[in-house]
Amino acid sequence: MNEIPRGTLQEQTFYEQVGGEETFRRLVRRFYEGVAEDPLLRPMYPEEDLGPAEERLVLFLIQYWGGPRTYSENRGHPRLRMRHVPFTVNRAAHDAWLRHMRDAVDELGLAPEHEQQLWNYLTYAAATMINSAD
């Protein structure tokens, strides 16, 4: 019987395969650099400092991709659609969000298969957040 040695790619989570916490921190940091300058998206973040929103997204993505469950331990179930209800998320907001996220993903320099898997999820997630017609 072929046994998979511990620590091999087959056993690692996506989170581990792409470099763990630091990779997700880089992704989200770059994303929020774009959001900070975006006239459509910036008003959706009521905090004066984007730091709390940045930390929430980092922790969510880390948990989603197989890292520590700190997000749920601190905030409970993600309930993403519910948490976004107070904001108008239309196609223009969706497109702006994806534009900044695309820049952030591109800067990570992930292996093509990891980049595609991450991008597939991000485009799906962005589409599910739309709650308003244009």
d(CA 134, CA 130): 10
Would you identify the CATH topology of the domain 16-129? Globin-like (1.10.490)
5 has a pLDDT exceeding 90: no
Instruction: Give Cα separations from 42 to 46, 56, 87, 104, 130 (angstroms).
Output: 8, 16, 11, 17, 17
pLDDT digits (tens, 9 = 90+) for 39-48: 999 988 877 8
Residue 82's pLDDT is: 47
Tally Cβ neighbours within 10 Å of residue 126. 17
Considering all CA atoms of the chain, what is the largest pairwise distance in Å, rounded to the nearest integer? 59
**Which helix (H) or strand (E) is 84 found in, with range?**
helix 80-84
Q: Domain map of the chain by residue range?
A: 16-129
pLDDT at res. 116: 98
> In this model, does residue 34 exceed pLDDT 60?
yes
pLDDT in tens, 70-128: 887 676 655 554 445 556 788 999 999 999 999 999 999 999 999 999 999 999 999 98
Predicted confidence at residue 7, as pLDDT, reads 56
CA atoms of 134 and 113, how far apart (whole Å) = 33
Q: What is the pLDDT of residue 78?
A: 52
Q: Considering just the CA atoms, what is the radius of gyration of the chain in Å?
A: 16
pLDDT at 92: 92
Q: What is the pLDDT of residue 81?
A: 46
Are 28 and 61 in contact by the 8 Å Cβ rule? The answer is: yes
Question: Which one has a higher pLDDT value, 76 or 29?
Answer: 29
**3 has a pLDDT exceeding 50:** yes
User: 86: helix, coil or strand?
Assistant: coil
Q: How far is CA 49 from the centre of its chain?
A: 18
Rounded Cα distance between 109 and 60, Å, is 21
Tell me the pTM. Answer: 0.83
